[in-house]
Amino acid sequence: MRIASAEPSDETLEKDGARLFVAADSASLLSECLLDYEEELTHTGFKIINPKAKQTCGCGTSFEA
């Protein structure tokens, strides 16, 4: 995940004035996922919640589908 301008092939999602650009080759992998922002003692930032994940790591940044 990074802050950048949209590429011509990106899918654009918008909600409450915020825009998210998703790379075309990642869109199907992120289907049904939720993007959340957390402020915790151990970490602060965006987190992708994937309801289809069978297993996730402790840090919440990778998953097994």
Report the candidate in 26, 22, 30, 24 with the shortest Cα–Cα distance to residue 49. 30
Q: Which two tokens stand for residue 20?
A: 């998210």
Question: Do 7 and 22 contact (CB within 8 A), yes or no?
Answer: no
Average of per-residue pLDDT across 53-60 = 67
Confidence of residue 61 (pLDDT cuts 50, 70, 90): low
Confidence (pLDDT) at 53: 80
The C-alpha atoms of residue 21 and residue 54 are separated, in whole angstroms, by: 26
pLDDT in tens, 26-43: 888 888 988 888 898 888
| pTM, two decimal places | 0.63
> What H or E segment, with its residue span, contains residue 46?
strand 44-49
pLDDT at 60 over 60: no
pLDDT at 6 over 80: yes
Q: What is the DSSP string of 13-26?
A: EEETTEEEEE-HHH
